[in-house]
Amino acid sequence: MSLDAVLSRIDTDLPHATERLLDLLRIKSISTDSAFKQDCQDAADWLIQDLQSMGIDAEKRPTPGHPMVVGHAGPADGKPHLLFYGHYDVQPVDPLNLWHRDPFDPAVEETDTGKVIRGRGAADDKGQLMTFVEALRAWKEVEGEFPCRITIFFEGEEESGSPSLVPFMEENAEELRADFAMICDTTMFQSRTPAITTMLRGLLGEELTIKAATKDLHSGMFGGVSINPIRVLSRIIASLHDDTGRITIPGFYDGVPELPEELRQQWQGLAFDHAGFLGEVGLSHPAGEQDRTPLEMIWSRPTCEVNGIGGGYQGEGFKTVLPAEASAKISFRLVGDQDPLAIRESFRKMVEDMLPPDCEAEWKAHGASRASATSIDDPAFAAALGALSDEWQVPAAYIGCGGSIPIAGHFAKILDTTPMLIGFGRDSDQIHSPNEKYDMESFHKGMRSWARILDAVSR
């Protein structure tokens, strides 16, 4: 059977696959820092050379920022057309003094839980990206061809907001359009259950400043008779939730769907340890909507959170002052069909209506993206779920994600391509932090998983 031969090839080639990943990790492709512009070019060139070595027609495509890597291969014979997305750029490494080794001198290390690949980008996203590159390599070496039509699409600006992504997708939509976009930039559930992420929350950011007097005031001379912007801001923030944790902005829940019963039961079957989840950060009690389970709060319910607040004297000691202004940064995670622009308008109106005389509000917007939800009706999802279960010997699950990955929505909206998010990261990978790592098991079984998925979906 060809799949068995491909899996065997992955096993025997693991040392070489690891060395290839270490080579890629040595490239300092930090996208947000212009000092590493050439390194991003080098990473794209490295990938192009590697893809070309296995017969993929790969090219470096210029953008106003860092280049895209686009490649095509495989037969157009009626089988599904799969696009593989990943990003070759990485986060900055600061603070450098907290790393146990040079972040761009990667190595395989022994830990209490097994071998890990240590280095910047090991899990986010070079290690994940290379799992399906290596799966394709094994298919080609064993079979002489790929199991279906393949498009490769790697970007170099994900860690700096992907400013070139949407324009590039719009300009090249016909070339990039596929049946499924396989996105390998997610994690397993609680680090042990392989999963397909089908729900991603949207994100709305707002920065609010309440202004009153023309300057800071002496609290003895003006206290009581003068409005204090901190008090106004505090009342606004306190009013955003009721006593049950429900968000009070008018129309906020428009477009929020109820969780399908099938998913509710599956999530219950995951036996999420919310006490352990909260206990790891010194908390104990779920603080969201009181009529929802913890997993619902994280994956399928919207949120309103204050991410920063400031005003008045905050230095050492004490200063009796009434500040002239006070500010807060507030974010909303969105689900279903919630409209971020409508919520922004309703939130601002609610605040404006609460302002007392002598106060005004100034606003600064910080992005607005809708939630993304993927239907699992297509048989390819069941096939991929079964392939994951076979490899990990654990029933795979459809899960949600509390974070936001806008690329999934872009594939659906711009390319009319169904996203399928499958990743093998673990909660302990320390992505974006010092000492980032990727478990060797995740790298090895990730390759084997993609080989199985290629086989299952192409059939």
Domain that holds residue 341: 202-258+294-369
Instruction: Judge whether 334 and 343 are in contact, CB under 8 Å.
Output: yes
**CA dihedral angle for residue 224, residue 230, residue 236, residue 239, rounded to 10 degrees:** -80
Average pLDDT of the chain to the nearest whole number:
95
Please report, to the nearest 10 degrees, the dihedral formed by the alpha carbons of residues 154, 139, 440, 94 taken in order.
-10
Rounded Cα gap, residues 423 and 408, in angstroms: 14
Q: Which residues pair with 395 in a beta bridge?
A: none
The count of domains in the chain is 2
Does 8 share its domain with 37? yes
Residues 358 and 443 in one domain: no
**Are 132 and 224 in a shared domain?**
no
Closest C-alpha among 334, 294, 339 to residue 200 = 334
Say if residue 194 is in the same domain as residue 220.
Answer: no
Instruction: Tell me if 401 sits within 8 A of 203, measured CB to CB.
Output: no
Using alpha carbons, select from 333, 324, 289 the residue that is nearest to residue 210.
324
Residue 1 has pLDDT above 70, yes or no: no
Indicate whether 182 and 234 sit together in one domain: no
Residue 339 preceded by cis peptide, ω within 30:
no
Query: How large is the greatest C-alpha to C-alpha distance in the chain, in angstroms?
Result: 87
Q: Give first-to-last CA distance, the chain, whole Å.
A: 14
Query: Do the beta carbons of residue 398 and residue 429 sit within 8 Å?
Result: no
**Predicted confidence (pLDDT) at residue 216 exceeds the cutoff of 80:** yes
Percent of the chain predicted with pLDDT > 90: 90
Q: In what order do the strands lie in the sheet with 303-311?
A: 303-311, 325-334, 202-211, 360-369
Backbone angles phi, psi at 304, to 5 degrees: -135, 115
Instruction: Choose the final residue of a domain: 369, 400, 424.
Output: 369
Res 342: pLDDT: 98
Confidence bin at 404 (pLDDT 50/70/90): confident
In a domain, 421, yes or no: yes
CA angle 205, 30, 24 (to 5 degrees): 130
pLDDT digits 0-9 by tens, 20-73: 999 999 999 999 999 999 999 999 999 999 999 999 999 999 999 999 999 999
**For the domain that residue 401 is a member of, what is the CATH number?**
3.40.630.10
Q: Which of 312, 337, 369 is the last residue of a domain?
A: 369
Dihedrals phi, psi of 269, to nearest 5 degrees: -70, -15
Residue 76 in this model has a pLDDT that exceeds 90: no
The amino acid that residue 323 corresponds to is: P
Say what the pLDDT of residue 18 is: 98
Q: Do 152 and 187 belong together in one domain? A: yes
**Looking at the predicted structure, is the pLDDT value of residue 262 above 90?**
no
List pLDDT tens digits, range 217-232. 999 999 999 999 999 9
Closest CA relative to residue 420, chosen from 74, 40, 83, 61: 83
Question: Is the same domain home to 206 and 196?
Answer: no
Are 222 and 100 members of one domain?
no
Those residues whose C-beta lies under 8 Å from the C-beta of residue 102, and which sit 6 or more positions away, are none
Do residues 335 and 302 make contact, with C-beta atoms less than 8 angstroms apart?
yes
The sign of the CA dihedral 16, 22, 26, 31 is positive
* Domain membership flag for residue 267: no
Please count the other Cβ atoms lying within 10 Å of the Cβ belonging to residue 282. 6
Comparing 156 with 367, the larger pLDDT belongs to 156
Q: Report if residue 303 sits inside a domain.
A: yes
Tens digit of each residue's pLDDT (9 = 90 or more) over 278-329? 998 899 999 999 999 999 999 999 999 999 999 999 999 999 999 999 999 9
- For residue 259, give the 3-state DSSP assignment: coil
- In the chain, what percentage of residues exceed pLDDT 70? 100
Residue with tokens 């390599």: 137
CA 17 from chain centre, in angstroms, equals: 25
Give the CB-side neighbour count of residue 456, counting CA atoms within 13 A.
19
Are 118 and 36 contained in the same domain? yes
Helix (H, G, I), strand (E, B) or coil at 71: strand
- 28, 102: one domain: yes
The answer to whether 181 touches 418, Cβ cutoff 8 Å, is: yes
User: Residue 171 pairs with which residues in a beta bridge?
Assistant: none
CATH number at residue 309: 3.30.70.360
In a domain, 284, yes or no: no
In a domain, 16, yes or no: yes
Q: 């912007």: which residue's tokens?
A: 229
Residue ranges of alpha helices (H) inside 32-72 are 37-53
* Single residue among 323, 348, 369 that ends a domain in this structure: 369
pTM of the model: 0.86
Extract the tokens encoding 160: 């700096």
What's the average model confidence in pLDDT over 253-266?
92
Residues 229 and 354 in one domain: yes
Q: Is residue 128 part of a domain?
A: yes
pLDDT at 367 > cutoff 90: no
Same domain, 196 and 206: no
Q: Model confidence at 429, in pLDDT bands (50, 70, 90)?
A: very high
